[in-house]
A and B are shown apart, each in its own frame.
Chain A
Amino acid sequence: MRCSKLLVAMMGVFSVPCSLFPILSPAQGPVFHLGRTPTEAESKALDLSIEPSGRGLPPGSGTAQEGAKIYAQKCAQCHGPTGAEGPSLPGAVKLWPYSSARDGYVPPSLAGGKNGLEGIWASPVATTIWSYIRRAMPPGAEGSLSADEVYAVTAWLLYRRGVIQENDILDAKTLPKAPMPNRACVPWNFSCTEPAGATSDR
């Protein structure tokens, strides 16, 4: 946006362009030589990114049949037996939100809200669901589900929504290909997930 005097001065010293400008030029050498190179293991341990292509998905697999058991055990207390009931059940009030807000705030239902495309169903790709469960569910024990369990619960959700069959095996290869209900809308046209008229205002 604008160069500080310091950065302008540095341009002379280090002969680099002011990087506050949006220059996406080919990579240049480091200037400040700060920081260190992470080991591969530590990068991998921290890397929770799952891309729409499926890149980042770990080995493992699961089916809706397996997922139903895990859902009943670890999810239903907040989301309800089918996912449409919650999360406004007694379990959810205790767990969500942790703090900062009065009782009564309710995250979107697993049924997808009014138009059926809210919350996890806003996404065109099932990687969104997989990644969110792995990161954030269940509240209080985030990150505790194994890869197999996350595949299985995701399969159960997709099966309930009619996206896949009960015995379909979800894994790193099949999950990104699941035909999500909102697959036509995003990522190239987000208007489908936005209330009409909102795009022009924001």
Chain B
Amino acid sequence: MHSKQLGRRRFLKEGAAIAGLTAGAIRSASGQGQTLGSATAEARPQDSRAYGERSRFLNSVRTLDRTGQVTPLQDLMGIITPSALHFVQSRGYDPPDIDPRQHRLLIHGMVDRPLVFTLEELKRFPSVSRILFLECPGNTGKTALEDGAATVQQTHGKTSCSEWTGVPVSLLLQEAGVQAGAYWLVAEGAEKGNRAQSVPLEKAMDDALVAYGQNGEPLRPEQGFPIRLLLPGCTGGVNTKWLRRIKVLEQPELGIWDLQQGNAIRVSPDGKGGRLPTMPPKSVITFPSGGQRLPGRGFYEITGLAWSGRGTIRRVEVSTDGGQIWKDAQLQDPVLPMAHTRFRFPWNWNGEEAVIQSRCTDEQGEVQPTLAELSQRRGIRPGSLQSDWVADSYARLGLNAVQPWKVTREGSVSNAMF
């Protein structure tokens, strides 16, 4: 942190009054921007009765893959991912250690009134709570294929769903007064590297949130504490964490993050706007799933999750015979746009080998494709091998293919995608 201060100081040369500038904090030279509240780090409870812990018999945890921490989807119930199990993909950056009393959000650029908000001020705005999924665009992608992902945690663990609470970006922008001729904003984080994401103003004004709450409590540090951007339905990477600055611009900034596969922005031909990539419809059976073992024939409730960045899940079908017969699964309320949707399907396993899989349809009528259909779309030969997909650059973006699980006569369940 200290070296960064010195660096910036040198960088900006003399005259720039940035004394007191730390990652994630704005403190004006004139001493405005007082601290808030009275909570201190010393008051943090050490007693597990004060901030509860789960039973010592439970051991479900996030695991590491090559790019981040993945959610144990096989252990989840309902649609909410516990905050402590939310997947983490921060491109290797540690969460900055931000004192929320010192954190500020600056809104500037093409606005009539540049503004700085404290967290306390952001919380005074009318708030919105929404249940939304976030999925890394690389979920079920190259690394999972290369590493021979066996469990649903390894194949699909870069998606999670939370109830997020925050202030609509539209209210903040209205407060600042967006000037005519502005079509984009850039949202910057306070982590090392200061990731900056360009966002079309149209999306920002539509349904974007500056979120400070996750599942009833403040955001976890890995999820952007104290504030982050949320862009419902979009690829995970564009939802700037540790948000510290929003600049309103005529055109996108074209920072390196605007151009990376999976999260790359689209700019309309006239330059006046564009769009962010959204996550396609996807579903997966989480029980029974890879690595699990069924103790014997008899009744099981097949269950799983379905989601789409383009709206609400309308239908989930399940097949227990390798894809010949598909039957509707029951959708568990609540069924919400751009949120995980829980589905259930009763199954009497006769003890014979079976291949079970799910496919979903979203409100746009888009149906989750099988791997064979995706192969055809990509020009990869039918019956394609895992190695063909690993070699295909498209797979880096992650696949939304139907995920088959094979149940052997012994009851062991394995990944049958290839």
Query: Bound pair: A and B?
Result: yes
Cβ of B189 to closest chain A Cβ, rounded Å? 10
Please state if A36 and B116 are interface contacts (CB–CB under 8 Å): yes
A122 to B260 Cα, complex, angstroms: 8
Interface residue A26 (Cβ < 8 Å from any Cβ of B): yes
Which chain B residues numbered 164 to 182 have a C-beta less than 8 Å away from chain A? 168, 170-171, 173-180
In the complex, which residue of chain B has the Cβ closest to the Cβ of A199?
Answer: B266
Q: Which A residues touch B196, using CB under 8 A?
A: 48-49, 131, 135
Q: In the assembled complex, how far is the CB of residue B283 from the closest CB belonging to chain A, in whole angstroms?
A: 16
Cβ A24 vs Cβ B264 within 8 A:
no
Q: How far is the CB of A158 from chain B (nearest CB, A)?
A: 15
Determine whether B205 belongs to the interface, using a CB cutoff of 8 Å to chain A. Answer: yes
Q: Is B356 an interface residue (CB 8 A)?
A: no
Please indicate the chain A residues that have their CB under 8 angstroms from the CB of B140 in the complex. none
Cα-based distance from A39 to B396 in the complex (angstroms): 44
Q: Are A187 and B378 in contact (CB under 8 A)?
A: no
Q: Does B6 contact A (CB under 8 A)?
A: yes
- Docked CA distance A7–B126 (Å): 8
Nearest Cβ on chain A to B193's Cβ, whole angstroms: 4
Q: Does A181 contact B (CB under 8 A)?
A: no
B254 within 8 A of A: yes
The answer to whether A37 and B3 touch across the interface, beta carbons within 8 angstroms, is: no
| Alpha-carbon gap, A8 to B26, bound state (A) | 34
Please report which residues of chain B, range 358-400, place their CB below 8 angstroms from some CB of chain A when the two chains form the complex: 377-379, 392-394, 396-397
Give the interface segment out of B76-84, B150-158, B241-249, B321-329.
B241-249
Interface residues of A in 131-153 (CB under 8 A from B): 131-132, 134-136, 139, 141-147
Contacts of B116 in A (CB 8 A): 35-38, 42
Question: Quick check: which of B28-36, B53-61, B285-293, B409-417 contacts chain A, the rest being far away?
Answer: B28-36
Q: B interface, how many residues as a size bin?
A: 35 or more
Residue of B nearest to A185 (CB): B259
Q: A28-B177, A100-B92, A101-B65 are in contact. Are A46 and B126 (CB under 8 A)?
A: no
Q: Tell me how many residues of A have a C-beta within 8 Å of chain B.
A: 87
Report A33 CB to chain B, min CB distance, Å: 8
Complex interface bits, B100-141 against A, C-beta within 8 A gives 1, otherwise 0: 000000111101111111000110111010000000010000
**Which of A1, A30, A51, A193 is within 8 Å of B175, CB to CB?**
A30
- With the chains together, A202 CA to B255 CA distance in Å? 20
CA distance A115 to B331 in the complex (A): 44
Stretch of A14-22, A64-72, A77-85, A166-174 contacting B (4+ beta carbons < 8 Å)? A14-22
Tell me if B207 and A1 are in contact (CB < 8 A): yes
A residues 171-202 in Cβ contact with B at 8 Å: 186-190, 193-195, 197-199, 201-202
Closest B residue to A27 by beta carbon equals B177
Residues of B within 8 A of A91 (CB): none
In the complex formed, the residue of B with least CB distance to A23 is B205
Cβ A58 vs Cβ B93 within 8 A:
no
**In the assembled complex, which residues on chain B have CB atoms less than 8 Å from the CB atom of A16?**
174
**A1 pairs with B206, CB closer than 8 A:** yes
The residue in chain B whose Cβ has the minimal distance to the Cβ of A39 is B28
Q: How far is the CB of B240 from chain A (nearest CB, A)?
A: 13
Give chain B residues whose Cβ lies under 8 Å from the Cβ of A120. Answer: 256
- The reply to whether B175 and A35 form a contact with Cβ atoms under 8 Å apart is yes
A72 to B115 Cα, complex, angstroms: 42
Check B66–A47 contact: CB distance below 8 A: no
CA distance A125 to B168 in the complex (A): 32
Question: Which B residues are in CB contact (< 8 Å) with A1?
Answer: 206-207
Indicate whether A48 sits within 8 Å of B175 (C-beta atoms), given known contacts A37-B113, A98-B92, A100-B64.
Answer: no
How many Å from the CB of B94 to the closest CB on chain A?
Answer: 5
The answer for the CA separation of A185 and B138 in the assembled complex, in Å, is 23
A195 touches B255 (CB 8 A): no
Given known A46-B26, A49-B196, A134-B11, contact A195–B393 (CB-CB < 8 A): yes
CB–CB A24/B202 < 8 A = yes
Report the separation of the CA atoms of residues A97 and B92 in the bound assembly, to the nearest whole angstrom.
Answer: 4
| Distance of A35 Cα from B121 Cα, bound (Å) | 6
A48 touches B194 (CB 8 A): yes
How far does the Cβ of A45 sit from chain B's closest Cβ, in whole Å?
Answer: 4
Say whether B259 contacts A193, CB under 8 Å.
yes
Q: CB-CB < 8 A to B69: which residues of A?
A: 100
Flag if B194 contacts A136 (CB, 8 Å): yes
- Chain B residues, Cβ within 8 Å of A142: 4, 7, 192-194
Pairs A–B under 8 Å by Cβ, sample size 6:
A21-B205, A30-B175, A52-B254, A188-B271, A190-B264, A197-B379
New A-B pairs, 9, CB < 8 Å, besides A41-B28, A142-B193 = A19-B168, A23-B205, A32-B171, A37-B116, A49-B186, A98-B92, A128-B259, A139-B192, A202-B137
State the B residues within 8 Å of A (CB): 3-4, 6-8, 10-13, 16-18, 21, 26-30, 32-33, 64-69, 88-94, 106-109, 111-117, 121-122, 124-126, 128, 137, 143, 168, 170-171, 173-180, 186, 188, 192-196, 201-202, 205-207, 235, 244-245, 247, 249, 251-256, 259-262, 264-267, 269, 271, 277-278, 280, 377-379, 392-394, 396-397
